[in-house]
């Protein structure tokens, strides 16, 4: 790496020009051959900050690593935050924190490299097109370790890492952790019935019945995207989100202004699946649209109806992916109930740098067993999926 290349820390996305950020592969739609991940876009990341959802006040202090040349050209980046808690991450390290603090250590603050509140795999070591990938990756990881040292924090965590980036982290001494999600893969289906035809007979009948039951009582479903996403629609969806999120988490992570900002900046990348009864919307789910995937994020409702959650969040997402020719649907974290609905187990990955040698050894021993457990569970679930034997193989 030439001497003229430097890595600096930027605390705010408002200080990063969108056009510069858009040069990073995967962070915009401008790069042919590189899948666009909407969660890595400047529009999404800046909306989290500007809306007050992910800020120092909520425990997400920006520590973004920017690699630049002598002319200020952005060669690479790593989205990073200093955190004083482990909320909104979906890769759970509360047990590590408790054990370390019982032993007299100080686990928080820590560094967290991820998109806040977003359990979606995507590039973490972001690289501008036409730059040699591996030198940029190596330099960013070295920069993250140096940032960990300079701040004197316990650890740095890089979550939902794509498999191709893992070797870089492991060579630098990061520990490898695995977990599991459930994704639907579109095998070139022309319709939902094409997908159903690949299922075991009893599973096929169960899903048909489930979908009929979900829309009883005069319920209809709408897909809203682009110019459909008015402030009035966001008001209604936010009411669903806060009602359901408040019961699940106590305080929802995202503010009302977040939805206005993403509606203004990236409406064509958003799908709201909204359920209506009696002339008014009463439930909905938000999804984000990438180059080859639909990403389901969260849902909410102000009326309870049997099986409506499955219809709005999972079945409708499959319908949309097939209609748009998207390769897969990623339906968020956890949820073995997704298996019966055609979402198969997929392994997710994270990388963890633990500064304290004793804690690092203990975590390494734990992760070795955890990786075996995740692999065995995935194999078992894949064998008990809804597909006819030979129709579908487990995603890796």
Give yes or no: residues 90 and 155 share one domain.
yes
Give yes or no: residues 259 and 372 share one domain.
no
In a domain, residue 226? The reply is: yes
Q: Which residue has the higher pLDDT, 244 or 333?
A: 333
Q: Do 43 and 179 form a contact (C-beta atoms < 8 A)?
A: no
Quick one: pLDDT at residue 28? 93
Distance CA 167, CA 194 (A): 39
pLDDT over 90 (residue 396): no
- Band of the pLDDT at 1, cuts 50, 70, 90? very low
Number of domains present in the structure of the chain: 2
* Average pLDDT for 343-365: 98
**pLDDT tens digit sequence for 269-312:** 999 999 999 999 999 999 999 999 999 999 999 999 999 999 99
Give yes or no: residues 262 and 375 share one domain.
no
Quick one: pLDDT at residue 394? 42
Specify which residues 377 forms β-bridges with: none
Q: Which residue has the higher pLDDT, 3 or 1?
A: 3
Quick one: pLDDT at residue 392? 56
In a domain, residue 394? The reply is: no
The angle that helices 256-265 and 42-50 make with each other, rounded to 10 degrees, is 150
Give yes or no: residues 149 and 23 share one domain.
yes
Give yes or no: residues 230 and 254 share one domain.
yes
Question: Peptide bond preceding 109: is omega within 30 degrees of 0, i.e. cis?
Answer: yes
Give yes or no: residues 171 and 264 share one domain.
no
* Average pLDDT for 61-89: 96
In a domain, residue 390? The reply is: no
β-pairing, 64-68 vs 74-78, is antiparallel
In a domain, residue 281? The reply is: yes
User: What angle (nearest 5°) sits at the alpha carbon of residue 388, between those of residues 384 and 393?
Assistant: 65
In a domain, residue 119? The reply is: yes
Quick one: pLDDT at residue 30? 83
Quick one: pLDDT at residue 329? 98
Quick one: pLDDT at residue 33? 81
In a domain, residue 1? The reply is: no
Give yes or no: residues 175 and 208 share one domain.
no
Give yes or no: residues 244 and 378 share one domain.
no
**pLDDT tens digit sequence for 123-181:** 999 999 888 999 999 999 999 999 999 999 999 999 999 999 999 999 999 999 999 99
In a domain, residue 341? The reply is: no
- pTM score: 0.95
Give yes or no: residues 68 and 91 share one domain.
yes
> Mean pLDDT in the chain?
95
CATH of the domain at 247: 3.40.630.30
**pLDDT tens digit sequence for 366-381:** 999 999 999 999 999 9
pLDDT over 90 (residue 326): yes
Give yes or no: residues 317 and 351 share one domain.
no
Distance CA 80, CA 70 (A): 23
* Average pLDDT for 198-227: 97
**pLDDT tens digit sequence for 11-54:** 999 999 999 999 999 999 988 788 999 999 999 999 999 999 99
pLDDT over 50 (residue 389): yes
- Band of the pLDDT at 252, cuts 50, 70, 90? confident
pLDDT over 90 (residue 244): no
Quick one: pLDDT at residue 393? 44
Quick one: pLDDT at residue 391? 61
Quick one: pLDDT at residue 292? 96
Give yes or no: residues 102 and 250 share one domain.
no
Specify which residues 291 forms β-bridges with: none
In a domain, residue 335? The reply is: no
Q: What residue numbers bound the domain in which 263 lies?
A: 187-326
Give yes or no: residues 31 and 163 share one domain.
yes
């Amino acid at each position: 790496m030439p001497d003229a290349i430097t890595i600096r820390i930027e605390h705010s996305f408002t200080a990063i020009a969108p056009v510069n950020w858009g040069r990073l592969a995967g962070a915009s739609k401008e790069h042919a051959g590189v899948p666009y991940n909407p969660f890595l876009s400047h529009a999404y990341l800046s909306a989290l900050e500007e809306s007050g959802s992910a800020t120092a006040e909520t425990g997400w202090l920006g520590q973004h690593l920017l690699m630049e040349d002598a002319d200020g050209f952005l060669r690479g980046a790593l989205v990073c935050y200093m955190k004083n808690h482990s909320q909104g991450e979906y890769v759970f390290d509360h047990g590590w924190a408790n054990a370390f603090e019982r032993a007299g250590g100080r686990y928080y603050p820590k560094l967290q490299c991820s998109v806040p509140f977003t359990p979606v795999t995507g590039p973490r070591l972001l690289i501008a097109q036409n730059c040699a990938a591996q030198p940029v990756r190596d330099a960013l990881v070295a920069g993250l370790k140096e940032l960990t040292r300079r701040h004197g924090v316990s650890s740095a965590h890089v979550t939902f890492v794509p498999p191709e980036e893992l070797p870089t982290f492991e060579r630098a001494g990061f520990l490898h952790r695995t977990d599991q999600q459930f994704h639907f893969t579109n095998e070139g289906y022309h319709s939902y019935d094409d997908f159903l035809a690949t299922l075991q007979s009893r599973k096929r009948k169960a899903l048909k019945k489930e979908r009929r039951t979900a829309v009883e009582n005069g319920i209809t479903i709408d897909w809203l995207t682009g110019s459909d996403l008015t402030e009035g629609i966001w008001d209604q969806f936010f009411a669903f989100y806060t009602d359901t999120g408040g019961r699940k988490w106590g305080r929802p992570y995202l503010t009302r202004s977040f939805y206005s900002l993403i509606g203004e900046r990236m409406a064509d990348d958003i799908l709201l699946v909204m359920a209506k009864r009696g002339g008014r919307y009463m439930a909905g789910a938000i999804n984000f649209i990438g180059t080859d995937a639909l990403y389901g994020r969260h849902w909410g409702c102000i009326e309870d109806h049997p099986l409506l959650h499955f219809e709005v969040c999972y079945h409708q997402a499959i319908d949309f992916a097939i209609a748009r020719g998207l390769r897969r649907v990623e339906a968020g974290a956890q949820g073995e109930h997704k298996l019966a609905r055609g979402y198969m187990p997929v392994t997710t990955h994270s990388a963890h740098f633990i500064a304290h040698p004793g804690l690092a050894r203990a975590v390494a021993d734990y992760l070795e067993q955890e990786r075996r457990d995740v692999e065995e569970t995935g194999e078992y679930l894949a064998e008990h999926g809804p597909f006819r034997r030979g129709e579908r193989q487990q995603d890796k």
